[in-house]
């Protein structure tokens, strides 16, 4: 009886240790290296920063998983390094870390790099990374890709091998599109299992062919539900890749020389796919954006105007949509609430004011002038700059109030001269166009500043 109780206690203790996920050391780098040498284990280093969103997702959603804890606590000495603080600055520089998160796997004997990985990823992929690094550290020779490929080409293999082969292709940076298609035709019936759908969703790549894309679209709701239940990051990755593939197909149709009716018919099918995949009102927003591009390409002014009105009213003027104007939050975990991005006042103001000028070119109606005025009011509230005021004057001019626009532009130029503004010459070019009675004047934009290299 005592032996049974003791065994139960030891099992409970082991489960308690690993149920917390990865256990990170909280000592100096030299102490970490010393411990790893004594245990003859490689060092796993999570290099992060305080502002890195994917770093936080990995820390809260992957590192905390029990199965990840088992793998990393048994196989590595683990440490987290803030790349912008203390010893982390030196370590990040030494191993040439340029993006976050970066995962370093270090041999403690000489602190050489075994290998590296990075970015947020599903738990299953992160587990595979551990296996790969442990094999490299121990010098264990894995089956060569050539051997795996030769067996695959015989066609004589089971589903376990097929999945392993696809994962190896992925690890080698090779296309898995053809192999996934063969996997479906060889092993997936009309009633696929949950495990099969999880595998397909977890490994759906960018650049999929039309057959694979269609299969994933047709089964998206079911696959998404399975992924969300098991791993929100895997679900987010599937969501991003499938929507990116849909976007690529739409861009391809937009660039083709087709009859308007053919182009619209093909796009409408893909718009339905957007509705299948997108979250919340993102679908309506994306569809309107693509429609505006289509109408612009077709020179269909009436439909472009109608779509522009709808877009301004639904996605530019409402205060709860302000943070998403001209940008889109990246979904890193499908089980988490959609993050609300901080408002970039300059970008958002620029977007609203440009839209107001576009309306002034498309229509001279009172309702559109009123709509443009609302957009400019929002733009100025966000960024009361000379550039935005210049656009306000252009919109006034395009709507037909030319004398008033010239007077306003003259006053603006006087203000810009007094402050020696860098856009003064652009504003003077604008007023000259007004005096020349040019039609539908376009605004100048902010010039991009040179990016600072860190």
Domain identity same for 231 and 100: no
Kindly state whether residues 230 and 260 are assigned to the same domain: yes
Total of domains in the chain: 3
**Inside any domain, residue 54:** yes
Confidence at residue 448, expressed as pLDDT on a 0 to 100 scale: 67
pLDDT of res. 452: 38
Q: What is the DSSP string of 236-283?
A: HHHHHHHHHHHHHHHHHHHHS---HHHHHHHHHHHHHHHHHH--TTHH
With respect to residue 249, please indicate whether it lies within any of the assigned structural domains. yes
Is 272 part of a structural domain of the chain? yes
Q: Are 124 and 231 in contact (CB under 8 A)?
A: yes
Tell me the three state secondary structure of residue 45: strand
pLDDT value of position 219: 96
Does 451 fall in a domain?
Answer: no
Q: Are 342 and 348 in contact (CB under 8 A)?
A: no
Q: Check: CB of residue 434 under 8 Å from CB of residue 409.
A: yes
Name residue 179's beta-bridge partners: none
Same domain, 192 and 319: yes
373's tokens: 């005025």
Coil, helix or strand for 337?
A: coil
| Pairing outcome for strands 24-25 and 77-82 | parallel
CATH number at residue 415: 1.25.40
Domain assignment present for residue 17? The answer is: yes
Are 273 and 366 within one domain?
no
**pLDDT score of 140:** 83
Handedness of CA 154, 170, 233, 135 (dihedral sign): positive
Contact 245, 276 (CB under 8 A): no
Paired strand residues for 80: 46
Does residue 269 share a domain with residue 207? yes
Phi and psi at 99, nearest 5°, equal -145, 165
Instruction: Specify the CATH number for the domain of residue 62.
Output: 3.40.30.10
Q: In what order do the strands lie in the sheet with 24-25?
A: 24-25, 77-82, 43-48, 102-107, 112-118
| Cβ atoms < 10 Å from Cβ of 259 | 8
Place of tokens 């504003």: 427
Distance of CA 269 to the CA centre of its chain: 24
Q: Which residues pair with 113 in a beta bridge?
A: 106
122 and 59, same domain (yes or no): yes
* Distance of alpha carbon 375 from alpha carbon 294, whole angstroms: 23
Please answer whether residues 212 and 181 qualify as being in contact, where contact means their C-beta atoms are separated by less than 8 angstroms: yes
Residues 6+ apart with CB under 8 A from 285: 311, 314, 315, 324
Contact call for residues 55 and 100 (beta carbons, < 8 A): yes
pLDDT at residue 160, rounded to an integer? 96
Full pLDDT tens readout for the chain, 454 residues: 444 444 444 444 444 444 589 999 999 999 999 999 999 999 999 999 999 999 999 999 999 999 999 999 999 999 999 999 999 999 999 999 999 999 999 999 999 999 999 999 999 999 999 999 999 998 888 888 999 999 999 999 999 999 999 999 998 889 999 999 999 999 999 999 999 999 999 999 988 999 999 999 999 999 999 999 999 999 999 999 999 999 999 999 999 999 999 999 999 999 999 999 999 889 999 999 999 999 999 999 999 999 999 999 999 999 999 999 988 888 999 998 888 888 999 999 999 999 999 999 999 999 999 999 999 999 999 999 999 999 999 999 999 999 999 999 999 999 999 999 999 999 999 999 999 999 999 998 887 654 433 3
Domain extent, residue 320, equals 175-324
For residue 151, is it within any domain?
no
**Pair 381, 288 in one domain:** no
Q: Are residues 286 and 357 in the same domain?
A: no
CA within 13 Å, CB half, 423: 19
Which stretches of 352-414 are assigned E, i.e. beta strand?
none
Same domain, 313 and 256: yes
Q: What's the confidence (pLDDT) of residue 133?
A: 94
Alpha carbon of residue 99 to chain centroid: 15
Domain final position from 63, 92, 127: 127
Distances (CA, A) of 199 to 166, 371, 385, 422: 10, 49, 52, 55
Residues 385 and 317 in one domain: no
Residue of 123, 26, 128 whose CA lies nearest to 77 = 26
What stretch of H or E contains 105? strand 102-107
Is residue 53 included in any domain, yes or no? yes
Residues 185 and 316 in one domain: yes
Residue 189 sits in the same domain as residue 312: yes
Residue 123 contacts residue 68 (beta carbons within 8 Å): yes
**162 in a structural domain:** no
């Amino acid at each position: 009886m005592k032996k049974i109780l003791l065994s139960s206690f030891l099992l409970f203790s082991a489960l308690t240790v690993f149920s917390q996920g990865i256990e990170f050391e909280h000592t100096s780098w030299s102490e970490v290296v010393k411990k790893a040498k004594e245990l003859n284990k490689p060092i796993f280093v999570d290099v992060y920063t305080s502002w890195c969103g994917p770093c936080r997702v990995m820390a809260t959603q992957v590192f905390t998983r029990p199965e990840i804890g088992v793998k990393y606590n048994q196989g590595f000495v683990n440490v987290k390094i803030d790349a912008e603080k203390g010893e982390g600055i030196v370590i990040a520089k030494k191993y040439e870390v340029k993006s976050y998160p970066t995962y370093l796997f270090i041999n403690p004997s000489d602190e050489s790099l075994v290998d590296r990985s990075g970015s947020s990823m599903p738990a299953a992929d992160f587990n595979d990374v551990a296996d790969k690094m442990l094999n490299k550290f121990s010098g264990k020779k894995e089956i060569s890709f050539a051997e795996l490929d030769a067996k695959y080409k015989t066609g004589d293999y089971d589903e376990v091998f097929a999945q392993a082969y696809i994962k190896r292709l992925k690890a080698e940076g090779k296309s898995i599109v053809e192999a996934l298609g063969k996997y479906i035709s060889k092993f997936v019936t009309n009633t696929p299992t949950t495990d099969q759908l999880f595998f397909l969703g977890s490994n759906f790549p960018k650049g999929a062919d039309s057959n694979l894309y269609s299969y994933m679209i047709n089964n998206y709701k079911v696959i998404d539900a399975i992924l969300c239940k098991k791993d929100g990051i895997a679900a987010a990755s599937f969501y991003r890749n499938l929507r990116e593939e849909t976007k690529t197909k739409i861009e391809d149709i937009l660039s083709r020389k087709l009859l308007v009716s053919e182009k619209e018919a093909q796009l409408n099918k893909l718009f339905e796919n957007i509705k299948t995949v997108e979250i919340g009102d993102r679908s309506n927003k994306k569809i309107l954006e693509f429609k505006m591009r289509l109408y612009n390409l077709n020179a269909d002014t009436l439909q472009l105007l109608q779509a522009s009105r709808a877009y301004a009213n639904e996605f530019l003027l409402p205060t709860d949509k302000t943070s998403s104007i001209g940008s889109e939050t990246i979904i890193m975990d499908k089980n988490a609430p959609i993050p609300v991005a901080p408002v970039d006042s300059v970008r958002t103001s620029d977007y609203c004011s440009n839209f107001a000028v576009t309306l002034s070119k498309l229509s001279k109606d009172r309702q559109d002038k009123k709509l443009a005025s609302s957009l400019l009011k929002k733009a100025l509230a966000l960024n009361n700059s000379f550039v935005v005021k210049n656009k306000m004057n252009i919109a006034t001019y395009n709507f037909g109030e030319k004398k008033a626009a010239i007077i306003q532009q003259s006053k603006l130029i006087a203000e810009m001269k007094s402050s020696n503004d860098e856009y003064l010459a652009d504003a003077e070019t604008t007023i000259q166009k007004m005096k020349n009675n040019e039609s539908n004047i376009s605004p100048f934009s902010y010039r991009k500043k040179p990016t600072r290299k860190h």
